[in-house]
Structure 1
Amino acid sequence: MLLLIPLVAMQFTQEVNWTFSDFVFAGVLLFGTGTTYVLIARKWNNLAYKLAVAVGVVAGLLLVWANAAVGLVGSEDNPANLLYLGVPIVALVGAFVARFQPLGMSNAMFAASLTYVVVTAIALFVWTPAPGTAEPSAYFVNVLVANGMFAALWAVSGWLFRRASAASSHLGQRLA
């Protein structure tokens, strides 16, 4: 249903111009996101864990979508944007190393958030905006705010996993 939005918009405006490959990319991304959520969230019957998975998966979806659509630093053609692929890689590797246990997942999401901040700092200080595209100060503030919100999503996911870990440890203490 979400893919109908750009399809309908293309009928009424020239500003939305998706190709067949854009629809395939978006479909795979949305299907992959939903599948990832279901596969991971079903491991635990804990609301904090399920919310943490949802926030982490949405953070990954938004990161990939925004980076592919417009880029997170400059345009989508800016090579600095390739650095952001390291963030979901850190999150995924951390999740597998943690075996999807809440405390380890918390550490993985905090590591992804920190990676996001480091990548943004590198991108901002290594690649500068092209002259004439925007005022450097406005560009800098826009990039910081947008990337700060993305990093916060990963941190919120980490915090929710931490709460899920605390809840499961309290449950274990009650059962003992």
Structure 2
Amino acid sequence: MGMKTTSAYRFGVGAALATAFVLAWVIGAVGLVGIEGDPFDLIYAGVLAVGVIGAMIARLRPLGMARALFATALAQASVAVIALIAGKHHVEVSSVLEILGSNAFFVTLWVGSALLFKAAAREQRPG
């Protein structure tokens, strides 16, 4: 039996893919924490891995995707905490506000996508 995709589901997919693309692009272009090319930025591959593995576990079902993207948002927030613990805010180009702000931006996008999937799951339920 095929899954009926709703507009909330399609927007959720679009938001998740766009967020992943922008995160990868920013990391590749200028880096998110520290100076350009800082090896610390490789930790963001873990954030993307949480999303991909979560989507595989969810088998792309809306409620599972919502959970996977909430987990991805948590992973993104964890990177900000790890960066601050590692002292990355002492680098000339990365203040505490910049680290928290840039990561909060991506956390917000992941959560937005998760909420779209949650809405799609509600739309699938009868009644």
Shared fold, TM over 0.5:
yes
Structure-1 residue corresponding to 2:20 = 60
Deviation at 1:61, TM superposition (A): 0.3
Deviation at 1:164, TM superposition (A): 0.2
Secondary structure of 1:76's aligned partner? coil
Q: TM-score, normalised by structure 2?
A: 0.90
RMSD: 1.6
Unaligned stretches of 5+ in structure 1? Answer: 1-42
Deviation at 1:130, TM superposition (A): 5.4
Q: TM-score, normalised by structure 1?
A: 0.66
Secondary structure of 2:88's aligned partner? coil
Structure-2 residue corresponding to 1:89 = 49
Contact 1:91–1:109, Cα closer than 8 Å, also in 2: yes
Secondary structure of 2:36's aligned partner? coil
Structure-2 residue corresponding to 1:72 = 32
Structure 1 segment 95-134 matched on structure 2, within 5 A: 95-129=55-89, 133-134=92-93
For the pair shown, which has the larger CA radius of gyration, 1 or 2? 1
Deviation at 1:53, TM superposition (A): 0.5
Instruction: Return the alpha-carbon distance in structure 2 between the equivalents of residues 66 and 103 of structure 1.
Output: 29
Contact 1:44–1:50, Cα closer than 8 Å, also in 2: no
| Matching residue's letter, 2:16 | G
Unaligned stretches of 5+ in structure 2? Answer: none
Indicate how the Cα distance of structure 1 residues 167 and 61 shifts in structure 2: closer, same or farther if over 3 A, else same. same
Deviation at 1:62, TM superposition (A): 0.6
Q: What is the number of equivalent residue pairs in this alignment?
A: 125
- Runs in 1 of length 4+ with deviation above 3 angstroms? none
Instruction: Return the alpha-carbon distance in structure 1 between the equivalents of residues 82 and 99 of structure 2.
Output: 12
Instruction: Return the alpha-carbon distance in structure 2 between the equivalents of residues 149 and 44 of structure 1.
Output: 31
